[in-house]
């Protein structure tokens, strides 16, 4: 934890608040970083972090299940929600409309 004391009533001279003129002159990072860094470094800074977005995403829902069902799937460790999804998919395959 930082030992530097902050004083909210004093202006931060190292990082002053932006004015309307500052905002109107602002440019996107994609323009500025290519001037400050090498193209490879600028590209790496502009690339989003984390895993890539999936083509098909799941839908978040709230569902009430019996404690026995939850205990059964949780007993085999992490990924229990994925296993419930797989079990429901298997049920759909075996029991079409």
Residue 81 has pLDDT above 90, yes or no: yes
pLDDT tens across 33-55, in order?
989 999 999 999 999 888 888 88
pLDDT score at 1: 57
How far apart are alpha carbons 17 and 11 in whole angstroms?
9
How far apart are alpha carbons 48 and 57 in whole angstroms?
18
Kindly list the domain boundaries of the chain, sorted by start residue. 20-48, 59-97
How far apart are alpha carbons 31 and 45 in whole angstroms?
12
To the question of pTM greater than 0.75 for the whole model, the response is no
pLDDT, mean over the chain: 90
Binned at pLDDT 50, 70 and 90, residue 21 comes out as very high
**Mean pLDDT value of segment 73-97:** 95
pLDDT score at 9: 75
């Amino acid at each position: 934890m930082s030992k530097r004391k902050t004083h909210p009533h004093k202006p931060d001279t190292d990082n002053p608040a932006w004015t309307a003129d500052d905002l109107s002159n602002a440019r996107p990072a994609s323009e500025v970083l290519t001037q400050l860094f090498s193209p490879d470094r600028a590209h790496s800074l502009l690339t989003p972090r984390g895993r890539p977005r999936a083509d098909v995403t799941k839908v978040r829902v709230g569902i009430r299940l019996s404690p026995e069902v939850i205990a059964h799937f949780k007993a085999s460790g992490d990924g229990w929600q994925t296993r419930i999804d797989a079990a429901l998919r298997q049920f759909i395959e075996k029991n079409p409309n």
